Amino acid sequence: MFKNLGYTFEPTYKEKLWMYDPRTEVGKKRMKKQKELLERFLPIKSGKALDIGCGMGISTFALENLGFEVIGIDVQGELVEKARGIAKELGFKAEFRVMDAKKLDFPDESFDLVALLGNPLPHLSVYDFDEIVQEVFRVLKPNGAIFVDYADWVRLLHDGYKHVLVEDPFISFHVSLNTMKGQVERFFINLEKGYFFRVKINVWAPWIVEFILRKAGFEVETHYLGTFSVVGVGRKSSGV
């Protein structure tokens, strides 16, 4: 009866494209939220920005709306294609490229801002994020900033995110915690569309994010929003 989409993020985002499309109601809401976060916590107001994990452009267009000249990158080629089409359709100037954030194809000191928006950390292990952060440090100009929004998963575990959550039209269940890998496994059912899948979520918390940013050379400020939403801002000091 229900379609099994499997175990990873990859097969599932295709079924949830409306969430990542800047033209849908959900997409517009996400863009508005991201723009508000950036306005509230960004230490930089203009210049060249790199949007890592741009998807279909929600975060990229939020940055462009704020006045940045933006390049969006993503490893998913088909999302980058879609983002290009949507940019043309909506009149955005942002440029999009397929690129692995662990090997940024840009010279040193190319950007004023690098953003990872929309909580991409569940997709990244500490090793992945560490490599990305080192690359980001390299491509940032002196006084440049990295901006990350993410969920505090250690807090969520502590507060009891082991129970069934009803988030219409989804129901989700905690399956397991693997502290060797730093991952939570969770089971989602979409009752309206009739599919289910398992997701492995990398567990993050502010002290771990801060450690990796500081280790790469950033000065860090963390802003805690409500119960588990966090914004981390790292500055590449001009003295480096």
Applying CB under 8 A, the residues found at the interface with a copy of itself are 125-127, 130, 152, 154-155, 157-158, 162, 177, 179-182, 203, 205-208, 210-211, 214-215, 222, 224
Q: How far is the CB of 183 from a copy of itself (least distance, A)?
A: 8
In angstroms, what is the minimal distance from the CB of 78 to a copy of itself? 31
Provide the greatest CA pair distance for the chain: 61
- Residue number, 4 or 178, with CB nearest to a copy of itself: 178
Among 114, 77, 115, smallest CA distance to 96 is for: 77
Residue 218, classed as helix, strand or coil, is: coil
Give the residue with the Cβ less far from a copy of itself, 74 or 152.
152
Q: Which is nearer to a copy of itself, 110 or 222 (CB)?
A: 222
In whole angstroms, how close is the CB of 76 to a copy of itself at the nearest point?
26
Judged by CB, which is closer to a copy of itself: 27, or 206?
Answer: 206
Closer to a copy of itself at the Cβ: 18 or 207? 207
Nearest residue (CB) to a copy of itself, 164 versus 180 = 180
Tokens matching residue 189:
């059912």
Strands ordered across the beta sheet of 3-4: 3-4, 195-202, 183-190, 170-178, 165-167
CA 197 to chain centre: 20
Nearest distance from residue 164's CB to a copy of itself, in Å?
16
Name the minimum Å distance from CB 177 to a copy of itself.
5
CB of 150 to a copy of itself, least distance (A): 11
What does the alpha-carbon distance between residue 45 and residue 184 come to, in Å, rounded to a whole number?
A: 36
189 Cβ partners below 8 Å, 6+ apart?
A: 2, 170, 171, 172, 195, 196
What six digits make up the tokens of 9?
């993020």
Cβ 3 to a copy of itself shortest distance, Å: 30
Give the strand order in the sheet containing 140-151: 95-98, 68-74, 47-52, 111-116, 140-151, 229-235, 219-225
Orientation of helix 77-90 relative to helix 58-65, angle to 10° = 40
Q: Based on CB atoms, which residue is closest to a copy of itself, 1 or 180? A: 180
